[in-house]
Every structure is written in C-alpha cells, then in structure tokens.
Amino acid sequence: MPPLRRPLRMLAAVLLLLCSLAALSVSAEAKVHHHTWDIAYRYKTLDCVEKLAVTINGESPGPTIHATQGDTIVVTVHNKLETENTGIHWHGIRQIRSPWADGVVGVTQCPILPGDTFTYRFVVDRPGTYFYHAHYGMQRVAGLDGMLVVSAPDGVAEPFTYDEERTVLLMDWWHKSVYEQAVGLASDPLKFVGEPQSLLINGRGVFEPFHCSRAPNGSSDAACNVPRPAGCAPPTLFTAVPGKTYRLRVGSLTSLSALNFAIEGHSMTVVEADGYYVRPVVVDSLFIYSGESYSVLVKADQDPSRNYWAASHVVARERNTTSAMAILSYAGNDPRAPPPTPRPEGPAWDDVRPRVEQSRSLAVAHPDHVLPVPPRADRALLLLNTQNRIGGHTKWAINGVSLAFPSTPYLVSMKRGLQGAYDARPPPETYDYRSYDIAKPPPAANGTVASAVYRLALGSVVDLVLQNTVALNNRSETHPWHLHGHDFWVLAYGDGKFDPERDTARFNLRDPVMKNTVALHPKGWTAVRFVADNPGVWLFHCHIEAHVYMGMAVVFEEGVDKVGRLPKSIMGCGRSRTLP
Amino acid sequence: MPPLRRPLRMLAAVLLLLCSLAALSVSAEAKVHHHTWDIAYRYKTLDCVEKLAVTINGESPGPTIHATQGDTIVVTVHNKLETENTGIHWHGIRQIRSPWADGVVGVTQCPILPGDTFTYRFVVDRPGTYFYHAHYGMQRVAGLDGMLVVSAPDGVAEPFTYDEERTVLLMDWWHKSVYEQAVGLASDPLKFVGEPQSLLINGRGVFEPFHCSRAPNGSSDAACNVPRPAGCAPPTLFTAVPGKTYRLRVGSLTSLSALNFAIEGHSMTVVEADGYYVRPVVVDSLFIYSGESYSVLVKADQDPSRNYWAASHVVARERNTTSAMAILSYAGNDPRAPPPTPRPEGPAWDDVRPRVEQSRSLAVAHPDHVLPVPPRADRALLLLNTQNRIGGHTKWAINGVSLAFPSTPYLVSMKRGLQGAYDARPPPETYDYRSYDIAKPPPAANGTVASAVYRLALGSVVDLVLQNTVALNNRSETHPWHLHGHDFWVLAYGDGKFDPERDTARFNLRDPVMKNTVALHPKGWTAVRFVADNPGVWLFHCHIEAHVYMGMAVVFEEGVDKVGRLPKSIMGCGRSRTLP
C-alpha cells in the first residue's frame, strides 16, 4: 500500500475518530458489567509448589474481564487480606473523567483496608487487550492480576479476521514471599531474592524438578519418575480446529522477566499492540515485556495428528527460570498427549539485536489506522535511567531522583492543595547528556529520594526520551516503561546515547503506533510522545515490580484543577484522613 | 503472719489506696516519656535462622520501656511496613480515661496504615511488669513486642527487697511467616503450621541443628561441628555478683507455647504477678503462660566459680520445640563459658498437676497487699470454651459464638451509635452446664461467627467462669485468658465441670490476687471477678495468637457513653471513614 499523503492521512484520522465516536455513541447498547471480588491469601500450587498467592475469589490469576468498547466496568473489591491493604490498577484503561479509579495507591487513592470495600467504576473507551493488577508495594508479585479484554462493537470491522480468540497471560513466579523479596531489596546491602523459579502461562507452570520431559518418540524419559505433588495442574491447553485462525491475546504481567513466546511449528502474525492495530508483522516468536499486550493471529495449518508446545522463555536475563509450557492440541488428538518433540529451548537469552529489531518492526501503525502524531512537542523530558546507591540503599533513579510514594495520594493532595504532602521542587527536565558516560554506573552520592512531580500544561504535547545506562553491576537491563492515563506514540528505539540535535530527526512522525508500555533496551534509548489531555495525576514507571519499588518512576500532573469532585472513598490515609 | 480480720483488712486496703493516691499525686514528679518507633520488616536471625521479623527501630523484641507509677508514656509509631497495617496494645495497662489507646485494631482503633503515624498516650497508674505487642491479625507472631516496666515511686516500699533487676522476655518463634500460619488456620481443612521451631529468651534462641551442646567436662561434643551461621547471636547473658539478690521480671509473650522457666541450681521466690504482689512462693521452676508476668527473686548463692543454665521449655504441648538457653554467669567467670552441665531438659510436658498446683499457690495476694474483693457479683457469665467446625472452618467459640472483629472498631461504632456495625444480638450468658459433656467435642454445626458484645452496667461486679472442654482432636489445651482495661481477682482454679451451686462456695473471697491474665487448665475451669468501672470497650481473649485469630474472644462494653471525645486518629476504616 502506497503511503497516504498528509491531507489524506488527516482525513483518515478524522474518519477514524468519527467511527470511534459513533461506536461510543451507541449508548443504548453500552452495558454495565458488575464484578464482586474477594481479595484473599490462599495456598496455591501454580507451578506445582505450594505457596501463598493473593487471589481473586480464590484464584490467581483472576478471571478475565470481557467487555465491549463503551461499556462500563464496575468492580466491587472486598479486602479480605486480614492485615494487608490493596489497590487495583486497570492497566491500559486511560480513566478519562475517572482519574480516581486508576488504582495506584499513593498516586490516585489510599489503600483499601482489610475489611473494607472499594468500588472501581470506569468506562472502557477503546477496544484492546488490557490487564488489571495490584498496584501497591510489590503486591503484584503475589499473583493479584488478570486480563481485561475490550472487544470492538458489533459492526465495527477490525483490519484482520479470525475464527476464535484466546487469552494468554504470561507471568513469572517465586517461591519466596513478596515480603522476603521487598525487604531484601530495601536492605543494606541489597539482598536479591534471585530469579523466579518458574514462568506461568494462564497461571500454570511446572517447577523444573517436577517437569516430566518426553523423548521425541513419545516415551517418557528418566526424569519422569519425579511424581508431581497434589494440586499440580496439567499444563494450559489451547485447542485448535485444523484450518481455523485464532487470535491469541498475549499479555505479560511478569514481575521481572522479559519473555519470548512461541508456538512450535507455527508462525504468528502480530496485529495489535496495547490496544492499537499495528502493521501486520509475521514472527516465529514474540518478544514481550511486562505490561505489554499483543494480539497475534495463528493459523492451525500444521500436521493435525500431533500436539505442539507453546512456550514462554526468559530473555534479557540469564535463564535460571524454568520455561513455561502450554500445549496446542489439534482437535481429535488426546489433548493431554505431550508433543512428540523435546521441550523447546527458546532463543539465546543474551542476544539483544533481534529484540530491538522486533520492537522497531512492531512500532508502525496499521496503514488504515494511523493516528496522526502532533508534529512537534511543547516540552521534552530527557529521562536518564540509573541505578544509584542512596543512603546505603540500592535505588533506581530518573535524572537522579528516585521516586518515593507519599503517604497522601498525589491526586488528593494536588487537587486539594495540601502543601508539603509531596516534594514541591520539580524534578530535573534533563541530564547532562553531552558529557554523561552511560557505560559507567553513576558517581557515588549522585541521587536523592523524593516525591517530586512533573507538572504538565493541560493539552500540551510532551516528548519523553528514556535513556538507558549500565547498572551498578555494569550490566544494562531492559526496562519496560508504562504510562498511566494515556497512550503514546512510539517515535524511535535508538542505540547508545540519545543526542537531541541528531536523533530527533530520526523520530517516526509518519505512522508510529500508539502504546502504553514500551521497552527501553540495554544501552539504548526510546522516545515517545503524548498529549497531556487527561486531567489527573499519572504514574510513568518501569513495569518491573522490583524497579518501581526501588524508585524507577516519575509522576505527571496535568489539569488537576479540572478533575471533578474526588470521591471520599479514595481518601483516609496520610493527610487525607482529616480532610473535610 | 496471722490473718487480719475483716475490719482490719478493709482499713489496710484503704491505707493502700491512700498511699497509692499519694504516690500518684506527686504530680510534680510525674514524667512524660517520649518514644518514637519505626515499625518495619527486617531480616533477623533470632534463633540463628534468618527470617523476617516485624521490628521496632530495627529490633525484635523492641526496647524495654521504663517508667515510674504515675508517669505518662507517649509512643509515636511510624508504620513503615509498606503494605501492612499495625496497632500496638499496652498489655496490663488499664487505659483509664484513655480507652482509645488500648491498641486493639477492630476494638479500640482502626489500623495504622503504612506511611502513617499514630501516637499512643497513656498513664501508667500502677507499678508492675507489663508488655506491649501488636494486636492486629496474628502480627504479634512476627516479633512486634517488648516489655514495659513500671517502678514504684521512690519512697514507696515494696514488700520485698533486692539488689538489682533484670527483664526476661520469653517468646516462641517459627521459621514460616505469619501469613503462612494465619492462612493455614483459616483454610478448609485447617493447615497447621506446626510447633514453633525455637523458644527465645530476650529475643535469642538457637534452633536445634545449630545448638552446640557441651559435655559435662566442658569439652565440646560431636554436635559442635555444625557451624553457626552469620548473625547468630550468643545466648542471653545474665551476670550476677555472688551474694546479691536479683529481681527477674519474667514475662511470656509466646504465640502458642506454655512455658517452664528455671535457673539451674537456683530457687526462685515469686513475689509479683501481673503487677500485683503475691504471697511469696518459693519454686524450683516457674510455669508461665502467654500474657503473664511474674517477678521472681533469685539469690546468687551457688558455687560462683561456674556458670548456670537459665532455660525456657515448652509444656502443655508435646515438646517439638528447641528449648531456649540463657546463661547465668557469676561475676569473675568467663561470661561466655557454657555451664559444665548438660542443657537441662525441663519437666514432663504432659504433667498437668504441678501446673495447676502452682497456679493455685500463686493466686493469693501478699498479706499486706490484699485488695478487698466485692463479696458478690451482680452478673455471672459462664463461658464455655469449645473448638468448633463452622462453615467448613475450624474455629474457637465461647458459648457457641466465635468472635469476628468488625471492620469498624467497636469503640467508635458503640460510642457513635452506628447501627449495624456489629452484631447487636447479645451473646449467651451461659451454656447448658447441667447436661453438656465437656469430655466430648461440641456437636457439629454448633456455633456461629459473630461480632456480638456483652454490655455491662458501669460499676457492676462481674464474674467470669471459664469452662474448658476437649478440642476436636479430643485433647484439652491450656488457654491463658487476658482481660483488657481491668485487672480481676482470681477466685478459683477448678477441675472438671464448674457447677454454680456447688463451686461458687469455693471461691477465694478472702485474699485473692489480682491479675490480668489467667490460665484455664485442661479439662478444668477458672473463675475471676472484676468491677466494670472503666468506660470503654474491652477485649477478653485467649492470649494464644492462633486462638484469638480463630475467634476465642469476647467483647465487653461498659459506660461507653461516659467515654470522652474520641480522637479522630483512631478512625478511618469501615464506617468510621465517613464520620463527621
């Protein structure tokens, strides 16, 4: 398809917008979906090893929420954790006109106390593949998460077709508790819990000692004599009818791990990323980072007389975690029959290049669904990601500031003008990019812990350029950054150090895809642009749970004076306890 | 000393009261003690095995608070637990005119949220040996506790003398987390965490595999080649100067275990129980139950050329827990030299008789310090303790009611008249004591879970008769019952089933000691009397942490309309969130 010229593109965009509004305006058909959730600890055996999980109505992960664009979701949360609070974020939902429902404890609400009930109510205004998960301390690690699928309304065509769809939620899993992990990270010296023991696909995995691999001839090998403990569920099963095409809505809510997902013998066509249609890309395997979602089309076009592995592998960190295996079973086969092939091993964990290349190839919008990017930014923040030693503790910092959540949620303190409830001094807009050496850890004592906020002009166009460096161990990690309250255009993934004069010209202003989560690759940079048009206070953070816990986040405020009356239910902590 | 006749006893009591008032009235000398505490998880190695503890300023147990009768204690608590709340109870302090400072989450306050600060302020109106500890879920198990010692004012003589004093805090300790323990107890079927791994004396113990026992000749035995891990502290050391007399203030804050405490080769004279002077009793070893405190006098009158074991052993449950060993070292010896004798083994765990007999022998007030007991009760509650299966869960119930803490603290909901915030239907006053068979577990489906309250007439005299039974496993346990807001007279410990007509005549109305915690022995009964003269809402419960968590508690209200204006700081949960 030849590139549309600019006026045509603008026209297409306007049409898209009108279609979108038309879809929303069918309000007679918009539904309200009520869910009632008990949040409680339960002993679970997700990877065949029993440990506590924070569950929703007894399950981890929780149920997939299904809705149609324009519907309203109402979730009544009963906290039954006994002594621990909670808060639930609706990842990818922009919460337009409901910023108090974003579920980020310390940013948009006080925690939900044990014995208390909190109701989230929000509109899902865009079709796409989203999530929900705890957003409080490191509680997400304990398994409080799930998927949220918003379908396009009937009669609104998507730029691809398929016969059926499935959700594929990818997670990682530790045998130690969140508390052991979090306290270790906050200790001096840092005490790392280590790599996760298992990966999970739709909440199921098998810790390596209990894996029963099969030789290619289908006979069990010697390792098969380790009996699986009680409660050890069989692998997740995806059934397929030969010849049909399946849309897999694949999402990652890992706490640490970057992943590679693949289905043995089947290519995948990537068609959606974080709720936006991408220019279709055929891949053998999908690299996916925590907080990202993709829809891939898979055609059941292989030998239907056998089953196939669907595998999730760790990449970007040394692979000390058991890969997760699901089974793709063609109809008619024994659905429990293991594939005749050995468990796949996945790509080399430390090969960065294919990951960067796939990120770039997926950063292009579907030609019929290009949303025009504002041609220039009103403000650009150049955000240096560093690992610092601050006051004896290992922290992550952005331009030298490691975020500490205040005890009064920003949304309350900023809307109500509570002086001193957060650090009023704004964080730095940039860093000394000319002389800074990103190949070296930051100088000692370079960093502070603060609850500072970037205040954005309502409606302004903002560029965020994330600059990676090496951590204190001289390695450079992959950080998936997630923006609350907005989607952004992905303008570029660059290598090395970003140079504003040189690299701004490389931004894709023609057909960038929009997303809400984007990878910052090792020793590279990533540039995104968004419009600060959603009154509220919004977190932007690395989606690795340990990293945001260690301060790898910034906070944006825009138009907080335009936010409607705050519900009393988000208050009750810090200085919001005694507000009239 | 011949017994005083009644008029003389009354006169003595009045004089005591006057002395007490005189001591309090020296207000010019009353001090205010300020403490600032950070409550946070830390990795600790209390018994040589590293695990998380909830600490005060980094330590578990926390610091001993020292004050003098009439002083005011102010403790500013910063909750730094990240996602978990807290609340701290001042065990043995009656909180006269400060019922909101009792620190029981769900009864007298809302929990203290992470990031929030709460200030406890109260007067210590009686000398004695007291405690503080978490009173929220099962959080006490995690190590948030310590001692609170209130001295008699200068010039007020105690009925015994000594040269120096020491505190001895006894605890038990698990390697699994509070969460694992609590969720297991709430699971269907119940999943028991098992006996504690270690006992602790002043926060130190040695898990059995790391115990390095010594042969009597002082050489190390074969077990000594297990190296102790880093952070493993030496045993608690008590130093003594030959010929001097020491007051040991011994307290137990075990979560489960009944204990026997002894110092090898040294007898102990018990002189105080829960803040009251007892008729002195010489014992070889002290049986002590969770929530109890005793002062014992120990004279350093043995061979001063060697050291001695001071040991804490489990009794009343099969001994699967490593005993704790401290060292009593005579001045001049190597304080680290292990005693030349093998570690003592303690009394038979299952010999109930000496325990009951010691309870009885210690239930008599010091003859010069008899506080006259009201001759009759206005109301008597006969409280049957049973273990029940309710709704698939194993619970403890009192007269068939298993207590569930409401999400709005009773003190707030009752003072402010919040209808429906707790179960208004009063719990039963008694049970069918004529026909009930205490040697059998209760019939199935016999029990409810409720937040019901006994409402007591202000100033009335109330008898509480606790009746033990056998649990679902057909064993009868020892339950130490602790009353908040009051002390009670200990009227009798009986065997078998209490018969009001027969056994009331056996009450000691002549010289009973007062206490705040009393043992209910296996298959027996215990009778106490108190005056409901402290406006507020007060918990009465088994001090075994698992048992109160499973509902083994009742709530008393008296004169809540007389309670002064409630501080806003105790509100913020349940229906108290939105109170004006």
CB contact under 8 A, A83 and B114: no
Q: How far apart are CA A525 and CA A467, in angstroms?
A: 4
- Both B122 and B171 in a single domain? no
- Write down which residue in A344, A365, A386 finishes a domain: A365
Burial class (CB in 10 A: 0-12, 13-18, 19+), B250: buried
Within a domain: B24: yes
pLDDT per residue as tens digits for the range A314-368:
999 999 999 999 999 999 999 988 899 999 999 999 999 999 999 999 999 999 9
Predicted local distance difference test score (pLDDT) of residue A258: 98
Tokens of B203: 């926060």
Given a contact cutoff of 8 angstroms between Cβ atoms, the answer to whether A52 and A43 are in contact is yes
Domain that holds residue B38: 6-151
B179, B548, B579: best to mutate for the A interface, most A CBs within 10 A: B179
Predicted local distance difference test score (pLDDT) of residue B222: 47
Given a contact cutoff of 8 angstroms between Cβ atoms, the answer to whether A251 and A292 are in contact is yes
- Both A121 and A257 in a single domain? no
- Both B537 and B467 in a single domain? yes
B44, B51, B55, B82: best to mutate for the A interface, most A CBs within 10 A: B82
Q: How far apart are CA B431 and CA B435, in angstroms?
A: 9
- The answer to whether residue A113 neighbours chain B at the CB level (below 8 Å) is yes
Predicted local distance difference test score (pLDDT) of residue A7: 57
In A, residues 556-575, which contact B (CB 8 Å cutoff)? 568-569, 571-574
Q: How far apart are CA B289 and CA B251, in angstroms?
A: 9
If you average pLDDT over residues B61-86, what whole number do you get? 98
Residues of A in contact with B140 (CB under 8 A): none
Predicted local distance difference test score (pLDDT) of residue A222: 47
Which chain B residue's Cα is nearest to A116?
Answer: B574
Question: Phi and psi (nearest 5°) for A352?
Answer: -75, -35
**CA B302 from centroid of its chain's CA atoms:** 31
If you average pLDDT over residues B524-539, what whole number do you get? 98
Within a domain: B445: yes
Q: Please determine, for residue A493, whether its predicted confidence score (pLDDT) is greater than 80.
A: yes
Q: Please determine, for residue B400, whether its predicted confidence score (pLDDT) is greater than 90.
A: yes
Side-by-side strand order, sheet with A268-273: A198-201, A164-173, A245-252, A293-299, A268-273, A276-283
CB contact under 8 A, A577 and B574: no
CB contact under 8 A, A43 and B578: no
Lowest mean pLDDT among A576-580, B278-282, B475-479: A576-580
DSSP H or E stretch at residue A23:
helix A6-25
In A, residues 86-105, which contact B (CB 8 Å cutoff)? 86
Predicted local distance difference test score (pLDDT) of residue B393: 95
Given a contact cutoff of 8 angstroms between Cβ atoms, the answer to whether A315 and A346 are in contact is yes
Residue type, A279: R
Supply the mean pLDDT for chain B.
93
Instruction: Give which of B25, B235, B255, B295 is closest to B135, Cα–Cα.
Output: B255
Tokens of A43: 């002993």
* Complex confidence, ipTM: 0.93
- Write down which residue in A334, A349, A365 finishes a domain: A365
Lowest mean pLDDT among A44-48, B112-116, B217-221: B217-221
Q: Please determine, for residue A217, whether its predicted confidence score (pLDDT) is greater than 90.
A: no
A564 to chain B, closest Cα gap in Å: 19
Show the CA angle centred on residue A378, arms to residues A377 and A380, nearest 5°. 70
Show the CA angle centred on residue A569, arms to residues A536 and B118, nearest 5°. 105
A115 to chain B, closest Cα gap in Å: 5
pLDDT per residue as tens digits for the range B192-207:
999 999 999 999 999 9
The CATH code of the domain that includes A328 is 2.60.40.420
How many other CB atoms are there within 10 angstroms of residue A424's CB atom? Answer: 11
Q: Please determine, for residue A221, whether its predicted confidence score (pLDDT) is greater than 50.
A: no
Instruction: Give me the torsion for CA of B398, B401, B406, B410, rounded to 10°.
Output: -60
Kindly indicate the confidence band of residue B226, based on its pLDDT and cuts at 50, 70 and 90.
Answer: low
Predicted local distance difference test score (pLDDT) of residue B210: 80
Predicted local distance difference test score (pLDDT) of residue A578: 83
Within a domain: B157: no
Kindly indicate the confidence band of residue A218, based on its pLDDT and cuts at 50, 70 and 90.
Answer: very low
Which chain B residue's Cα is nearest to A184?
Answer: B43
Within a domain: B405: yes
Which chain A residue's Cα is nearest to B86?
Answer: A83
Residues of A in contact with B405 (CB under 8 A): 115
Q: Please determine, for residue A504, whether its predicted confidence score (pLDDT) is greater than 80.
A: yes
Residue type, B292: E
If you average pLDDT over residues B218-241, what whole number do you get? 73
CB contact under 8 A, A85 and B83: yes
- The answer to whether residue A325 neighbours chain B at the CB level (below 8 Å) is no
A449 forms bridges with which residues in the sheet?
A402
Predicted local distance difference test score (pLDDT) of residue A2: 45
- Both A92 and A220 in a single domain? no
- Both A320 and A401 in a single domain? no
Q: How far apart are CA B273 and CA B250, in angstroms?
A: 10
Which chain A residue's Cα is nearest to B105?
Answer: A83
- Both A128 and A239 in a single domain? no
Residues of A in contact with B187 (CB under 8 A): 42-43
Residue type, A314: V
Kindly indicate the confidence band of residue A445, based on its pLDDT and cuts at 50, 70 and 90.
Answer: low
Instruction: Give which of B548, B550, B540 is closest to B390, Cα–Cα.
Output: B550
Q: Please determine, for residue B287, whether its predicted confidence score (pLDDT) is greater than 60.
A: yes
Predicted local distance difference test score (pLDDT) of residue B240: 97
Given a contact cutoff of 8 angstroms between Cβ atoms, the answer to whether A519 and A446 are in contact is no
Question: Phi and psi (nearest 5°) for B151?
Answer: -90, 155
> Residue A122: helix, strand or coil by DSSP?
strand
- Both A495 and A425 in a single domain? yes
Kindly indicate the confidence band of residue A11, based on its pLDDT and cuts at 50, 70 and 90.
Answer: low
Kindly indicate the confidence band of residue B223, based on its pLDDT and cuts at 50, 70 and 90.
Answer: very low
Within a domain: A158: no
- Both B92 and B218 in a single domain? no
Q: How far apart are CA A542 and CA A383, in angstroms?
A: 12
CB contact under 8 A, B116 and A406: no
- The answer to whether residue A392 neighbours chain B at the CB level (below 8 Å) is no
| pLDDT-above-70 percentage for chain A | 92
- The answer to whether residue A189 neighbours chain B at the CB level (below 8 Å) is no
A82, A422, A573: best to mutate for the B interface, most B CBs within 10 A: A82
B177 to chain A, closest Cα gap in Å: 9
- The answer to whether residue A407 neighbours chain B at the CB level (below 8 Å) is yes
Q: What is the end-to-end Cα distance of chain A in Å, rounded?
A: 60
Residues of A in contact with B43 (CB under 8 A): 183-184, 187, 191
CA Rg value for chain B: 23
Residues of B in contact with A405 (CB under 8 A): 115
Given a contact cutoff of 8 angstroms between Cβ atoms, the answer to whether B325 and B206 are in contact is yes
Count of structural domains within chain B: 3
| CA-to-CA dists, residue B344 to A264, B213, B260, angstroms | 65, 11, 11
Q: Please determine, for residue B225, whether its predicted confidence score (pLDDT) is greater than 60.
A: no
Given a contact cutoff of 8 angstroms between Cβ atoms, the answer to whether B552 and B479 are in contact is yes
CB contact under 8 A, A52 and B577: no
Within a domain: B146: yes
- The answer to whether residue B139 neighbours chain A at the CB level (below 8 Å) is yes
Tokens of A268: 């995948």
Q: Please determine, for residue B211, whether its predicted confidence score (pLDDT) is greater than 80.
A: no
- Both A403 and A477 in a single domain? yes
If you average pLDDT over residues B487-493, what whole number do you get? 98
Within a domain: B156: no
- Both B567 and B443 in a single domain? yes
Tokens of B73: 């204690």
Within a domain: A445: yes
Given a contact cutoff of 8 angstroms between Cβ atoms, the answer to whether B72 and B122 are in contact is yes
| CA-to-CA dists, residue B278 to A138, B92, B104, B167, angstroms | 51, 16, 29, 18
- Both A381 and A331 in a single domain? no
DSSP H or E stretch at residue B183:
helix B178-186
A245 forms bridges with which residues in the sheet?
A299
- Both B417 and B565 in a single domain? yes
